[in-house]
A and B are shown apart, each in its own frame.
Chain A
Amino acid sequence: MNAAWSRIPDLLAQHILLTAAALLLGLAIALPLTIWSARNQAVARVTLGFASLVQTIPALALLALFYPLLLLMSGLVGGGIPALGFLPSLLALALYALLPILRNGVTGLVNLDPAVVEAADAVGMTARQKLWLVEAPLVVPVLMAGIRTAAVWTIGAATLATTVGQPCLGDLIFAGLQTQNWTLVIAGCIASAALALIVDALLGMAENGLRRRRRVQVWAALGMLVLGVVAAIWPVLPTGGAEKRVVVGAKGFGEQYILARMIGHRLENAGYRVTYREGLGSAVVFGALASGDIDVYVDYSGTIWTNEMHRTDTPDRAAIVKGVGQWVAKTHDIRLIGPLGFENSYAFAMRGADAKRRGIETLTDLVPQSGEMNFATDLEFLERPEWAAVKRAYPLHFRSAQAYTPSFMYRALESGKADVVSAFSSDGRIAKLGLKVLGDPRHAIPGYDAILMVSPQHADDQRFIAALRPLVNAIPADAMRQANYMVDRDTDKVSADTAARWLERRIGLASGK
């Protein structure tokens, strides 16, 4: 409970900075476009059309699209443009903020009393004098209403910046959703809603002051907003040692959160300043390591083997780890430090009693009965090459196949909505729910050793490698499963950080801190 609230100040500060920067950038783009559009109808059609089009793209997709776009641009200019984190979030949110500002501004200018405009011309104002003396003061209240709308939208949409690795209040919401920790979700929602309400009230106060020409009220409201942003900058400012800052990446599930914290603890003890980018998609995270947006993370050998190397053969576990290590070093200058000692494989699982009744021990036994059974998977399995490999080896034809988030996938199996799931072998819920894991006699599924990989920048960093090396072959599958269950279970769950500390003690790697 307290762990959730204690993360808020830091994430709130990041959230405020991100939205303030996005709003300012949006304003800087929207204001000249507004003036140009009000003067020229053809331009207005293009700008308003573009801004409306941007609005129709879901914010989540808009953020995700900036990742490949920035990677491409970075490639064109020879690197150096960060494709994850602040920059893509800033650009996507600024684009998102354009429409309400632009639309209100153009509407305000076009609907100015024609008599006032005629008078401004007739008394001999130049275009610039007309803009500053007449148009701007009369349109500012309308424009302010647009800025208010943009601010509320941006604060809400910024929670999605988590998915491109920018720390924000969305971190709480996404982590909470993945681990079904509703306290975290609610903490994130309340914080972002409160922020939106306060900012809306202050901007509303400024707007009201502008309409009634009360300067003091306008300056008071804007002053409080500036104060808020300054207060947010304070804790985020780097406090020296910037060259030792490192970023630990994690995909979006409990085991990844725990491992990221373990890695982070060891690096902190070695004197590094650690930040986390959690909840990254499987497709994004490897590219992020290769481009140096993150410095270290844990992946699974079979994932790289099938998804990145496009291999369809399945040699033994050690051969796969070795093959992956050579391939990532050769093609991306990534260093594979070693396996952690446990496997998190895709494993087909059934309710224990059900498997017994039907006499199913292996995937081979499953084939003849699959037509009357329902299949539940995680969100990506049906699209992954592993599923294609399994189908090649075992001609399974399920009555239905439905994708869920991992937590709901197990719920579906428990409730009988599904009969077979694509479980993860290190998942603590397999033992707790009494599930039967089916054998794979034809070796269709490759090995999935958890492997520790380091970005090209730190591939030769001896201190960095030395700090992490004790993790190699140090985590038994059973210990990992127990730690996973601590964060994944429905009641009495603990934070990933607490589970990491527990796991460190369990395997004898507890730090002095």
Chain B
Amino acid sequence: MPEQSYPRGPSVAFDRVGKTYDGAVRAVEDVTLTIAGGEFVALVGASGSGKSTLLKMINRLHEPSSGSVSIGGEPVNSVPVHELRRRIGYVFQNIGLFPHMRVGENVAIGMRLKGEKQDEARIAELLELVELPREFAARMPDALSGGQRQRVGVARALATEPKLMLMDEPFGALDPVTRDTLGQAVRRLHDRLGLTTIMVTHDMAEALLLADRILVMEAGRIVADGDPHAMLTGKGGAAADALVAVPREQAHLLSRLEQGE
């Protein structure tokens, strides 16, 4: 466990959570788990392992079939769903910028929903936070590159100063260079703003390099739970080892190529 240096982010707890689709397909099975406030957790697993479903039960984009989810000790269904979501940042692979609104309006949407006026200074500050020039506020989303769009997506998620950030394959559609820089930018924001961050990814290397704690999912269950070091040293079990093996093997091959072997 990493040290608790970011006490401001809330904890997230799953209590015997299950999710079945159409009464038959079991996406998530009996997950009990606590994520401490301030942790950067990566949920890793193959497609269909249930990791996205588990994540979306936190902001109720999915409802659990059994069990309960709570944030900071409060069950997620104790407040109206739109109020819950306004307190949680959400970034996902397909970004979902509103194509009819300027970048600035997209970033400020959370404030608008609460009835606040559009604050240009705050928009500039948010764009700066995700390392975009403030002039971008006046552009339409379709005038941006994929990486720039996802930066706007992150800025939008941070606009209402949430303490909990949910990310569903946030860098999945980006090229490797953009992916790396944006990943590091998110990690810096996590540290600087004292967030609790839960990131779903199928890329173990990304998880190892960014997260404090890695949860491996397989067939709807958590099959490994530990810090990156534990994963790399074989303490995560067979499923984790299989996922770690790929980037490890690539790293070996690359270093051998570098040495001219």
Q: Which residues of A come within 8 Å of B, CB atoms?
A: 113-126, 129, 133-134, 137-138, 213
A124 touches B100 (CB 8 A): no
> Given A122-B59, A123-B113, are A113 and B85 also a contact pair (CB < 8 Å)?
no
B84 touches A122 (CB 8 A): no
Tell me, yes or no, whether B123 is within 8 Å of chain A by CB: no
Tell me, yes or no, whether B95 is within 8 Å of chain A by CB: yes
A124 touches B84 (CB 8 A): yes
A118 touches B85 (CB 8 A): no
**Contact residues in A for B258 (Cβ distance below 8 Å):** none
Tell me, yes or no, whether B86 is within 8 Å of chain A by CB: yes
| Chain A residue with Cβ nearest B106 | A119
- Measured in the bound complex, the distance between the Cα atoms of B141 and A213 in whole Å is 14
**Contact residues in B for A118 (Cβ distance below 8 Å):** 61, 92, 94, 96
- Measured in the bound complex, the distance between the Cα atoms of B159 and A124 in whole Å is 13
5 A–B pairs (Cβ distance < 8 Å), ordered by A: A115-B96, A122-B61, A122-B85, A124-B110, A124-B113
**Contact residues in B for A120 (Cβ distance below 8 Å):** 96, 98
Contact with A along B109-135 (1 / 0, CB 8 A): 110110000000000000000000000
Tell me, yes or no, whether B97 is within 8 Å of chain A by CB: yes
B100 touches A123 (CB 8 A): no
Least CB distance from B233 to A in Å reads 37
B100 touches A213 (CB 8 A): yes
**Contact residues in B for A213 (Cβ distance below 8 Å):** 100
- Measured in the bound complex, the distance between the Cα atoms of B98 and A116 in whole Å is 6
Least CB distance from B55 to A in Å reads 11
> Given A138-B99, A213-B100, are A126 and B94 also a contact pair (CB < 8 Å)?
no
| Chain A residue with Cβ nearest B92 | A118
| Chain A residue with Cβ nearest B159 | A123
Q: Which residues of B come within 8 Å of A, CB atoms?
A: 59, 61, 82-86, 90, 92, 94-100, 109-110, 112-113, 156
- Measured in the bound complex, the distance between the Cα atoms of B112 and A483 in whole Å is 75
A123 touches B90 (CB 8 A): yes
Partner of B109, one of A121, A123, A137: A123
**Contact residues in A for B156 (Cβ distance below 8 Å):** 123
**Contact residues in B for A116 (Cβ distance below 8 Å):** 96-99
Partner of B85, one of A115, A117, A121: A121
B110 touches A115 (CB 8 A): no
**Contact residues in B for A123 (Cβ distance below 8 Å):** 85-86, 90, 109-110, 113, 156
Partner of A119, one of B82, B97, B100: B97
- Measured in the bound complex, the distance between the Cα atoms of B97 and A118 in whole Å is 10
| Chain A residue with Cβ nearest B109 | A123
A134 touches B98 (CB 8 A): yes
| Chain B residue with Cβ nearest A121 | B61
**Contact residues in B for A122 (Cβ distance below 8 Å):** 59, 61, 85, 90, 92, 96
Seed contacts A118-B94, A122-B96; 12 additional CB < 8 Å A-B pairs: A113-B99, A116-B96, A116-B98, A118-B92, A118-B96, A119-B90, A119-B97, A123-B113, A124-B83, A124-B85, A125-B82, A134-B98
| Chain B residue with Cβ nearest A116 | B96
| Chain A residue with Cβ nearest B94 | A115
| Chain B residue with Cβ nearest A119 | B96
**Contact residues in A for B100 (Cβ distance below 8 Å):** 137-138, 213
Determine which residue in A114, A121, A122 has the highest number of CB atoms from chain B within 10 A of its CB, and name it.
A122
**Contact residues in B for A117 (Cβ distance below 8 Å):** 96
**Contact residues in B for A129 (Cβ distance below 8 Å):** 82, 113
7 nearest interchain CB pairs?
Answer: A119-B96, A115-B94, A124-B86, A124-B85, A115-B96, A122-B90, A124-B82
**Contact residues in A for B99 (Cβ distance below 8 Å):** 113, 116, 138
- Measured in the bound complex, the distance between the Cα atoms of B98 and A120 in whole Å is 8
Least CB distance from B191 to A in Å reads 24
| Chain B residue with Cβ nearest A137 | B100
| Chain B residue with Cβ nearest A134 | B98
Determine which residue in A117, A121, A138 has the highest number of CB atoms from chain B within 10 A of its CB, and name it.
A121
A119 touches B61 (CB 8 A): no
Least CB distance from A234 to B in Å reads 38
**Contact residues in A for B112 (Cβ distance below 8 Å):** 133
**Contact residues in A for B84 (Cβ distance below 8 Å):** 124
Least CB distance from A115 to B in Å reads 4
> Given A118-B61, A121-B61, are A126 and B82 also a contact pair (CB < 8 Å)?
yes
**Contact residues in B for A133 (Cβ distance below 8 Å):** 98, 109, 112
- Measured in the bound complex, the distance between the Cα atoms of B94 and A123 in whole Å is 14
Least CB distance from A124 to B in Å reads 4
| Chain B residue with Cβ nearest A138 | B100
Partner of A113, one of B82, B90, B96, B109: B96
A119 touches B98 (CB 8 A): yes
Least CB distance from A214 to B in Å reads 13
| Chain A residue with Cβ nearest B85 | A124
Least CB distance from B117 to A in Å reads 16
**Contact residues in A for B96 (Cβ distance below 8 Å):** 113, 115-120, 122
**Contact residues in B for A137 (Cβ distance below 8 Å):** 100
Least CB distance from B256 to A in Å reads 41
Least CB distance from A366 to B in Å reads 77
**Contact residues in A for B97 (Cβ distance below 8 Å):** 116, 119
Least CB distance from A134 to B in Å reads 6
**Contact residues in A for B83 (Cβ distance below 8 Å):** 124
- Measured in the bound complex, the distance between the Cα atoms of B220 and A47 in whole Å is 40
- Measured in the bound complex, the distance between the Cα atoms of B113 and A129 in whole Å is 8
**Contact residues in A for B98 (Cβ distance below 8 Å):** 116, 119-120, 133-134
| Chain B residue with Cβ nearest A210 | B100
**Contact residues in B for A119 (Cβ distance below 8 Å):** 90, 92, 95-98
- Measured in the bound complex, the distance between the Cα atoms of B112 and A213 in whole Å is 20
**Contact residues in A for B92 (Cβ distance below 8 Å):** 115, 118-119, 122
- Measured in the bound complex, the distance between the Cα atoms of B94 and A118 in whole Å is 9
- Measured in the bound complex, the distance between the Cα atoms of B98 and A386 in whole Å is 72
